[in-house]
Amino acid sequence: MKNCPCGSGRPYADCCEPYITGKAKAPTAEALMRSRYSAYAEHAIDYIINTCVHKGKDDIDYESTRNWSERSTWLGLKIISCEKGGPADTEGTVEFEATYESKGLKDVHHERAQFKKQNANGEWLYDEGSVVPRTVVRTGPKTGRNDPCPCGSGKKYKHCHGK
């Protein structure tokens, strides 16, 4: 039996699959976040779109989202924190990191996602998110102004790309 892509350690059939197939509704904001990650890994784009608040659905490019989902290898989900978002709440925030590889490059999408519960049917929906900026750390030595430009032009860095 296949483990759930969300990293819960549970079988997919007992974890996110019931939410993605519509057999059950996610009871918490975190459960919805996990199932949305699993939907990307399983290429269930309709679920991703249908679990957005109405205003957000119009902003999603179905084909681009599907292509990104299918061309990426989904490597893992890490839940960093949850604020509210429980069964009795009407809104919640989940901070997470989704790791994936695309076109030979490994990347981490770090986001603080806002969720709202629809009052009519008690369904959790993704409202909006903000990407958490990360610091890029140089792994090699810094190119000096008078060093040869790394582009291979033969010019000094300050006269080429160091302008």
Q: Which CATH number fits domain 12-132: 3.40.718.10, 3.10.450.50, 3.40.50.150, 3.75.10.10?
A: 3.10.450.50
3-state percent breakdown (helix, strand, coil) of the chain, nearest 5 = 25, 30, 40
The answer on pLDDT for 7 being more than 80 is yes
- State the average pLDDT for the chain: 91
The answer on pLDDT for 102 being more than 80 is yes
How far apart are the C-alpha atoms of 18 and 25, rounded to whole Å? 8
Lowest-confidence region among 11-15, 91-95, 159-163: 159-163
Q: Are 12 and 21 in contact (CB under 8 A)?
A: no
| pLDDT tens string 92-101 | 999 999 999 9
| pLDDT tens string 55-92 | 756 778 999 999 999 999 999 999 999 999 999 999 99
- pLDDT for 103 equals 87
Buried b (16+ CB within 10 A) or exposed e, 68-81: ebeebebeebebee
Q: Are 34 and 48 in contact (CB under 8 A)?
A: no
Residue type, 139: T
The answer on pLDDT for 136 being more than 70 is no
Domains in the chain: boundaries? 12-132, 138-163
Q: Regarding predicted confidence, which is higher, 1 or 47?
A: 47
Please compute, for residue 150, the number of CA atoms within 13 A of its CA located in the half-sphere on the CB side. 7
